A and B are shown apart, each in its own frame.
Chain A
Amino acid sequence: GAGVSQTPSNKVTEKGKYVELRCDPISGHTALYWYRQSLGQGPEFLIYFQGTGAADDSGLPNDRFFAVRPEGSVSTLKIQRTERGDSAVYLCASSLTRTLNTGELFFGEGSRLTVL
């Protein structure tokens, strides 16, 4: 596609429920990132994929969070047993490998998660 696509745009769920957030990166971008942005804060790194593998998952807050990218394209961020503190905008970004360290990331519009 023309840009990074994220679905759903908004998700409201109840505490304890399971949630999946999807990211469709720009075609040909091998690097994919998930960030979490809480209200009034800057985005915080969660996980980075290079192809199908998670190259760095050091930002995942706990084992309720998990992400996959089985075919090296679309990625799904999965949150189990959601808590109110998980409420945030989840941003996805992709990049060509050759521009990885130069930080030329292309972001989607994010998925706003609200846990009641």
Chain B
Amino acid sequence: AQTVTQSQPEMSVQEAETVTLSCTYDTSENNYYLFWYKQPPSRQMILVIRQEAYKQQNATENRFSVNFQKAAKSFSLKISDSQLGDTAMYFCACTGANSKLTFGKGITLSVRP
């Protein structure tokens, strides 16, 4: 079983600035994956970035990068050069051998012009 905790309900950032979204998790799996999904008002969940737990190197996708601290079970998302289109809800999620994604409660990110 997995649990995912996102303790910040909302954050705001100025356009072009950098913002970090926090996430902690707990799992009994030895091999698991961690994700950040974006959900705009259209409701469609879009995969932002993925991290394989057995890889020490932090994943990066263009302006998005993660800080994966396995011992601390922490998985934060950094968004650089924030854009207005980044305004959305962001969900941290975890999956293991059971093939089910477990999501956190999400955080509402607002990018100010």
Interface on A for B, CB 8 Å cutoff? 31, 33, 35, 40-45, 48, 55-56, 59, 89, 91, 93, 100-105, 107-110, 112
A45: chain B residues at CB < 8 Å are 100-102
B103 touches A43 (CB 8 A): yes
What 10 new A-B contacts, CB under 8 Å, besides A59-B100, A93-B45? A35-B101, A40-B106, A42-B4, A42-B6, A42-B104, A42-B105, A103-B95, A107-B45, A107-B46, A109-B43
B 69-113 binary contact with A (CB < 8 Å = 1; else 0): 000000000000000000000010101111111111110000000
B44 touches A103 (CB 8 A): no
A35: chain B residues at CB < 8 Å are 101
Q: Which residue of A lies closest to B47 (CB)?
A: A104
A107 touches B99 (CB 8 A): no
Interface on B for A, CB 8 Å cutoff? 4, 6, 33, 35, 42-47, 50, 52, 91, 93, 95-106
A31: chain B residues at CB < 8 Å are 99
A41 touches B106 (CB 8 A): yes
B105: chain A residues at CB < 8 Å are 40-42
B4: chain A residues at CB < 8 Å are 42
B35: chain A residues at CB < 8 Å are 103
Distance of B3 from chain A, by nearest CB (Å): 11
Distance of B77 from chain A, by nearest CB (Å): 15
B99 touches A43 (CB 8 A): no
A102 touches B100 (CB 8 A): no
B98 touches A110 (CB 8 A): no
Complex partner residue of B33 from A43, A101, A108, A112, CB under 8 angstroms: A101
B100 touches A56 (CB 8 A): yes
Q: Which residue of B lies closest to A103 (CB)?
A: B95
Assembled-state Cα–Cα distance A54/B45 (Å): 23
